[in-house]
Amino acid sequence: MRGVLGQEVVDYVRELILTGTLRSGEKIDQQALGEALEVSRSPIREALVVLSREGLVELIPRRGASVARLSPEDIIDHYALFGVVAGRAAALAAENLDADGIAELRAVHARFLEVGETVSEGADPEDASLVPALLQQLNHDFHRIINLSAPGRTRWLLRHLEHSVPTSYYEFANGWNRAAVDHHAAILAAIADGNPEGARGAMESHLLASGEAAVAELVTRGFFEAGAGPEEEAV
């Protein structure tokens, strides 16, 4: 993961796992992966170490790597943790965010609402394919502004939690997400009011709901269907 190659491998394998192409428990062949990406095993191995620290891959000495067996409960739990940490950031934002930051937050939220309403009315069909990416970007900006109020270590952990597991990845894959906007509105209101506990609670609720949505999406992608892994239990 030092140079560029390892990072590419990380992204590639993460995509394979999160899209359900590689299934839960499935073995990951280093040599096959290396041939597929036309790189040697050195960057492959470093990438697998990264993914194992993220919790997406299980590494067993002398037995190699396999896709981690994540249950729906694990995903829910992960989002709950994410909520607890992001809630801390939101509480700090309610205490510390200055007027400029709040204005910026309002602007992003307004744009978010605008794009969402437009698409829900069925307009702009010609560039409809761009909408999910745009919504995801605006969603990301919204959270980033809040998280900037938090100390460095909290931001560090939030970055890791965000990548460790399917998070906002899918939230807007299927278009407009009404619930997310309401949640964001509540978070924004609490922060603007300087209400730390309100912001914390709103953020936690938001991520709990996101977790349930993510599980639903992952189910449709066959994420939880176990592949033929070495740990596979016979029935």
Question: Mask of contacts with its own copies, 77-96, x by CB under 8 A?
Answer: xx-xx--xx--x--------
113 touches DNA (CB under 7 A): no
Question: For the chain, how many residues are written?
Answer: 235
Separation CA 182–CA 109 (nearest Å): 10
C-alpha closest to that of 111 among 80, 130, 138, 133: 138
- In order of 41, 90, 148, the CA distances from 98 in angstroms are 49, 13, 11
The gap from C-alpha 168 to its chain's centroid, in whole angstroms, comes to 4
Residue 185 touches which member of its own copies, DNA, none, C-beta under 5-8 Å by kind:
none
- Crossing angle for the helix pair 41-54 and 4-18, nearest 10 degrees? 50
- Residues near its own copies (CB under 8 A), total: 34
d(CA 138, CA 114): 11
Interface with its own copies by CB under 8 A: which range of 76-84, 93-101, 105-113, 168-176? 76-84
Site residues for its own copies, window 123-162 (CB under 8 A)? 151-154, 156-157, 160
Contact 27, 64 (CB under 8 A): yes
194 near its own copies, judged by CB under 8 A:
no
Q: Does 178 bind its own copies (CB under 8 A)?
A: no
Please state, in angstroms and as integers, the Cα–Cα distance from residue 96 to each residue in 100, 121, 146, 192, following that order.
11, 37, 10, 10
168 near 133, Cβ under 8 Å? Answer: no
Does position 15 interact with DNA (CB under 7 A)? The reply is no
Asked if 59 touches DNA (CB under 7 A), the answer is yes
Provide the CA 164 distance to its chain's centre, in angstroms.
7
Q: Which stretch binds DNA (CB under 7 A): 12-20, 59-67, 155-163, 196-204?
A: 59-67
Decide: is 2 part of the binding site for DNA (CB under 7 A): yes
Positions in 63-92 near DNA (CB under 7 A): 63-65
**Binding site partner of 222, from its own copies, DNA, none, Cβ cut-off 5-8 A by kind:** none
Interface residues with DNA (CB under 7 A) are 2-6, 27-31, 38-43, 45-46, 59, 61-65, 230
Interface residues with its own copies (CB under 8 A) are 1-4, 42, 45-46, 48-50, 52-55, 59, 61-62, 71, 73-74, 77-78, 80-81, 84-85, 88, 151-154, 156-157, 160
